[in-house]
Structure 1
Amino acid sequence: MGHHLHEHGHATGGGTPDWLPPALLLLAASGAYLLLVRRARRRNPVLGWSPWRTGFFLGGMLLLGVALLPPVAPFAHEDFRGHMVQHLLIGMYAPLALVLAAPVTLLLRTLPPPRGRHLTAVLHSPPARVIAHPAVGLALSTGGLAVLYFTPLYNAISDDPAGHWLLHAHFLLSGCLFAYAVAGPDPAPARPGVRARLVYLGVAIAAHAVISQLMYGGFRVDVHAPVDQVQGGAEIMYYGGDLAELLLAAALVATWRPEPRRVAGRGAWRGAAPVRDVSGGS
Structure 2
Amino acid sequence: MGHHPHGHGQATGGGTPDWLPPALLLLAAAGAYLLLAHRARHRNPALGWSRWRTGWFLGGILLLGVALLPPVAPFAHEDFRGHMVQHLLIGMYAPLALVLAAPVTLLLRTLPAPRARRLTAVLHSPPARLLSHPAVALALPTGGLAVLYFTPLYNATTADPAAHWLLHAHFLLSGCLFAHVIAGPDPAPARPGVRARLVCLGVAIAAHAVISQLIYGGFWADIHAPIDQVRGGAEIMYYGGDLAELLLAAALVATWRPEPRRGVSVAGRSLPAGGA
Do the aligned residues in 1 keep the contact of 2:265 with 2:271 (CA within 8 Å)?
no
Residue in 2 that maps onto 1:226: 226
Q: Say yes or no: does 1:86 pair with 2:120.
A: no
Relative to structure 1, the CA distance from residue 229 to residue 63 in structure 2 (aligned partners, 3 Å threshold; closer, same or farther) is same
Distance in 1, Cα, partners of 2:217 & 2:96: 29
Equivalent position amino acid for 2:157 in 1: I
Q: Say yes or no: does 1:14 pair with 2:6.
A: no
Residue in 2 that maps onto 1:256: 256
Distance in 2, Cα, partners of 1:147 & 1:187: 31
- In the TM superposition, residue 2 of structure 1 has moved relative to its aligned partner by 3.8
| Structure 2: 5+ residue stretches without partners | none
Residue in 2 that maps onto 1:24: 24
Distance in 2, Cα, partners of 1:131 & 1:106: 21
Distance in 2, Cα, partners of 1:197 & 1:2: 39
Do the aligned residues in 1 keep the contact of 2:4 with 2:158 (CA within 8 Å)?
no
Residue in 2 that maps onto 1:153: 153
Distance in 2, Cα, partners of 1:161 & 1:197: 36
Distance in 1, Cα, partners of 2:121 & 2:4: 47
The superposition leaves residues 194-251 of structure 1 with CA deviations (integer Å, 9 ceiling, x where unpaired) of 0000000000000000001111111111000000000000000000000000000011
Do the aligned residues in 2 keep the contact of 1:81 with 1:236 (CA within 8 Å)?
yes
Q: Percent identity?
A: 84
Do the aligned residues in 1 keep the contact of 2:54 with 2:101 (CA within 8 Å)?
yes
Tell me, what secondary structure is at the counterpart of 1:11?
Answer: coil
Distance in 1, Cα, partners of 2:241 & 2:272: 38
Distance in 1, Cα, partners of 2:7 & 2:177: 27
The superposition leaves residues 136-185 of structure 1 with CA deviations (integer Å, 9 ceiling, x where unpaired) of 11101011100000011101111110000000000000000000011100
Distance in 1, Cα, partners of 2:234 & 2:161: 24
Distance in 1, Cα, partners of 2:241 & 2:251: 15
Do the aligned residues in 1 keep the contact of 2:3 with 2:79 (CA within 8 Å)?
no
Equivalent position amino acid for 1:187 in 2: P
Residue in 2 that maps onto 1:127: 127
Residue in 2 that maps onto 1:277: none
Equivalent position amino acid for 1:149 in 2: Y
Do the aligned residues in 1 keep the contact of 2:140 with 2:174 (CA within 8 Å)?
yes
Q: Say yes or no: does 1:49 pair with 2:52.
A: no
In the comparison of the two structures, how many residue pairs are matched?
A: 270
Give the root-mean-square deviation of aligned CA atoms: 1.6
Give the TM-score normalised by structure 1.
Answer: 0.93
Distance in 2, Cα, partners of 1:94 & 1:263: 39
